[in-house]
A and B are shown apart, each in its own frame.
Chain A
Amino acid sequence: MSTVAELSIAAPEARKAGNWLLVATVILLCVWVLLPIYLLIVNALSSPEQVTAFPKRFFPSFDFGSLSFFINFAGVAKALWNSVLVATLTMLLSIGFGAPAGYALSRFDFPGKETFRFLVLMTRAFPLPLLALPLAVMFIRTGLDDTAIGLALVHTTLALPFAVLITFSLFSGIPVELEEAAWTLGCTRLQAFRKVILPLALPGIAASAVFAFTISWNEVFAAAVLTIENRTLTAFLLQSLGESPLYLKFAGGAALVIPALIFIFAVRKYLFAMWGIANR
């Protein structure tokens, strides 16, 4: 407190001006992020006639015409359901495969550890959605084509590296002594994990699960390549871009954005920790 006071005595004018500039820039940047989203929402909450009319109003009329047209449009409800299904499967797969690997990396030193880390890091140097192209053929042979699980498998390659790195840092942050104490008190390895480590790691695991869900929910290219009848919402919107009316596009865009906003809000505490470890 005292240092702040001293400094402001030293150069009160300049410091005040600097502070104003700082706050003004931050507010400007916030507006830059929020305003486009607001405009999309305005469109989604206007009637179809208002969306195509000119000039536009900058405030929503809270007419649900566009949204109800979107929800009742052939294929939308199914696409929404497919998106949720694929994202849920992706979430389960990436945590199911990723968390054990993250735990192993945090607790053991063993030959091959570096090779595995390299494999995980390597995935980041690749445009992964492209791998959907060869997989499309493989899936037709194995009967996985146009299924939710097939697409979820591809989305898991996107989400798994994150799940491994995030759970690795989570488990590294829990002292191994806690586990050892449980062993000396007669717990088996599995019991110690379930009763001591898991409760501590659960919020972080949930956050990385939400993250995996979001990755799948937002993915466009692989979804458009791998699904035909069982399109996800992104694939549906992409493939109807050419012919669908504006109000359908904007309502669809809002349907994609609103859940994403909630997901990011839910994991906000973990966002920076997650990307911090992505550095190493």
Chain B
Amino acid sequence: MHGKALPYLLLMPATLFLCVFFLYPFALVAFEAFTRDGGFTLDNFRTMAGSWKFPVTVRNTLLLSAIVVPIQLVMALLMATMVSRLETGRSTALYIFAIPLGISDLAAGLIWLAIFDQSGFLNTLLSNLGVIDRPVMFLGYQSKLTIFIAVALAEIWRATAIMMVILVAGMGLIPREYYEAAEVFGASPWKRFIKITLPLLRPSLQTAIILRVILAFEVFAVVAALGGTNLPVLMGETYNWQFTLQDRNVAAAMALFILAISIGFTLFFLRVLRVPKEARI
């Protein structure tokens, strides 16, 4: 009897915790989004979608994700394959590549602020090179494009590491024999990458992409540090509804909207990059 109950006893704290602090608030946020003054309503969603800022925030967030994630995927694959072919200094390179993993998105925003600010390093460099004669305002309210570029660069800088680490771990699971066989048959490094690495890396690619896309929808502090309110994104708007506009129900509707697109994209990538059971290593 004791032996049978033990695993459940051990799982109990974590399960209870996740029920109270994950499932319950999730139910609560759904409830708040669909009610106002005690009655069921879709008004919160109407208010949310009716705000002039809403289409802009959706567009900014999706555009940012659509630009940042593919670039990160390519960079992460590049880093992972480069490192695996390195003969010396492998662990040093891996450690350096992984550093941004530990850096807060707010800190990443501040780091890139040091570069893009009016008295920042980019302006200094450009003026030392003689390209400009006085500092350019990269992050002003009139320069939406440069704000967007700065945010995209900061995001690429900060969050490529998470994909890289997942892909490096995944590459470690691919048996060496496959590469040796391919080499015997004269496959070039590029062919080996296309025919062996990519297909066998699919489970890791799936994890990396899903994780990264969800995080991309959550972009918040980087934008707050670099663009303020000049580049509205979904999480920033949610924060605004909760605090500046003091409307909890619309904030909950926003939260539910972000959850919905996150789950939608998760299911999409689970399906598109599906790995049949018999094809797993």
Q: Across the interface, do B204 and A34 meet the contact criterion of CB distance under 8 Å?
A: no
List 22 A-B pairs, Cβ < 8 Å: A33-B97, A40-B114, A54-B123, A120-B14, A126-B26, A126-B262, A127-B214, A127-B218, A129-B220, A131-B22, A134-B252, A135-B28, A136-B242, A218-B106, A224-B239, A250-B110, A253-B113, A257-B103, A257-B104, A273-B169, A275-B168, A278-B166
Q: Across the interface, do A40 and B7 meet the contact criterion of CB distance under 8 Å?
A: no
Measured CA separation A241–B128 after assembly (Å): 29
Name which of B4, B168, B221 has the most chain A CB atoms within 10 A of its CB: B221
A47: Cβ under 8 A from any B Cβ: no
Residue of chain B at shortest CB distance from A119: B18
If over half of A's interface residues share one DSSP class (helix, strand or loop), that class is named, otherwise mixed; here it is helix
Given A22-B86, A32-B157, A272 and B14 contact (CB-CB distance below 8 Å): no
Q: Across the interface, do B25 and A138 meet the contact criterion of CB distance under 8 Å?
A: yes
CB distance from A267 to the nearest CB of B (A): 9
The one of B22, B162, B239, B251 in contact with A157, judged by C-beta atoms closer than 8 angstroms, is B22
Q: Across the interface, do A246 and B119 meet the contact criterion of CB distance under 8 Å?
A: yes
A123: Cβ under 8 A from any B Cβ: yes
Which residues from B are CB-within-8-Å of A135?
A: 21, 25, 28
> Which residues of B are in contact with A by a Cβ distance under 8 Å?
4, 6-8, 10-11, 13-15, 17-18, 21-22, 25-26, 28-29, 32, 75, 78-79, 82-83, 85-86, 89, 91, 93-107, 110-115, 117-121, 123-124, 127-128, 135, 157, 162, 165-166, 168-170, 172-173, 203-204, 207, 210-211, 214, 217-218, 220-221, 224-225, 228, 235, 238-239, 242, 248, 251-252, 255, 258-259, 262-263, 266
Q: Across the interface, do A125 and B266 meet the contact criterion of CB distance under 8 Å?
A: yes
Given A234-B104, A257-B111, A54 and B124 contact (CB-CB distance below 8 Å): yes
The one of B14, B75, B119, B218 in contact with A53, judged by C-beta atoms closer than 8 angstroms, is B119
Q: Across the interface, do A134 and B11 meet the contact criterion of CB distance under 8 Å?
A: no
Residue of chain B at shortest CB distance from A109: B7
Given A134-B25, A264-B101, A221 and B235 contact (CB-CB distance below 8 Å): yes
Measured CA separation A270–B243 after assembly (Å): 39
Contact with B along A121-156 (1 / 0, CB 8 A): 001111111110111111000000000000001101
Q: Across the interface, do A133 and B248 meet the contact criterion of CB distance under 8 Å?
A: yes
Considering only residues 233-258 of chain A, those with a C-beta below 8 Å from chain B are 234, 237-238, 241-242, 246, 249-250, 252-253, 256-257
A20: Cβ under 8 A from any B Cβ: no
A178: Cβ under 8 A from any B Cβ: no
Interface size classification for chain A: 35 or more
Measured CA separation A253–B162 after assembly (Å): 21
A214: Cβ under 8 A from any B Cβ: yes
The one of A36, A120, A124, A136 in contact with B115, judged by C-beta atoms closer than 8 angstroms, is A36
Given A29-B79, A30-B96, A37 and B102 contact (CB-CB distance below 8 Å): no
CB distance from A205 to the nearest CB of B (A): 15
Residue of chain B at shortest CB distance from A218: B104
CB distance from B274 to the nearest CB of A (A): 15
The one of A217, A242, A272 in contact with B104, judged by C-beta atoms closer than 8 angstroms, is A217
Which residues from B are CB-within-8-Å of A130?
A: 29, 235, 238, 255, 258-259
> Which residues of A are in contact with B by a Cβ distance under 8 Å?
22-23, 25-26, 29-30, 32-34, 36-37, 39-40, 42-43, 51-56, 58, 93, 96-98, 100-101, 103-105, 107-108, 110, 112-113, 116, 119-120, 123-131, 133-138, 153-154, 156-157, 160, 164, 189, 214, 217-221, 224-225, 234, 237-238, 241-242, 246, 249-250, 252-253, 256-257, 260-261, 263-265, 268, 271-273, 275-276, 278-280
